[in-house]
Structure 1
Amino acid sequence: MSIQRIAAGPRMAKAVVHGDTVYLAGQVAGEAAGKSVAEQTADILGIIDGLLAEAGTDKSKLLMVNIWLADMSTFAEMNAVWDKWVVAGQTPGRATVEAKLAAPQFTVEIAAIAAK
């Protein structure tokens, strides 16, 4: 079975497709780095939409999502954006935890697994 790597760099690929499963690496904000949790979440979800499309799938086929927040007190702020984005009736499994992220300008990181 072939493996397709999307946006592969020297350390990691942003997405890997193996068979009918798409694995997204942890995504952090691009344009919204350093901005509010809501803005970072919206930015990341847009990135995820693009990677899923490039892999031949979409958010309606998400299987599992892991979300890391730098501060769990922002859980409701992140969820306000998430709830508008996720497909009703087709929500994935999900875990959300508080963790120190790679750089201080990042307050949200999201990784996902989806079917094709």
Structure 2
Amino acid sequence: MSIKRLQAGPRMSQAVIHNNTVYLAGQVAIDAPGKSVTEQTKNILDRIDALLAEAGTDKTKLLSATIWLTDMRFFNEMNAVWDAWVAQGNTPARACVESNLATPDFWVEIGVVAAV
């Protein structure tokens, strides 16, 4: 049983690959704190694209996604970016919930699981 960890730190790894599946940690807009939900979502999806590429896969192989919003009023704004990004015909199972996040500068967090 092989397990590969990408960008492993003392608390967590950004991605873990096991049995041809990659599990990404929840991603926040590290490059866009405090910016609009649109900008944060774009930044997060860019980060997800990069991590999936590092794992040897891409968004066409998404299996599931979990999205956390600090306020459901952001749902349509986030979805506008998501819908433009997600691979049509290859959409994952998805959940979107309202939740507090680690810092008040982030309004969106997204975690995904994909096949490798």
Give the TM-score normalised by the residue count of structure 1.
Answer: 0.99
Q: Distance in 2 between matches of 1:112 and 1:102?
A: 18
Q: Which residue is equivalent to 1:16?
A: 16
Q: Which amino acid aligns with 2:24?
A: L
Tell me what 1:86 maps to. Answer: 86
Q: Supply the distance in 1 between the matched residues of 2:42 and 2:24 (Cα, whole angstroms).
A: 16
Unaligned runs of 5+ in 1: none
Unaligned runs of 5+ in 2: none
Match of 2:53 in 1: 53
1:112 matches 2:106: no
Q: Which stretches of structure 1, 4 residues or longer, exceed 2 Å deviation after superposition?
A: none
| C-alpha distance after superposition, 1:57-114 (max 9, x if no partner) | 0000000000000010010000000000000110000000000001000000000100
The alignment covers a number of residue pairs equal to 116
RMSD over equivalenced CA pairs, Å: 0.5
1:19 deviates by 1.8
TM-score where L is the length of structure 2: 0.99
Aligned residue for 1:69? 69
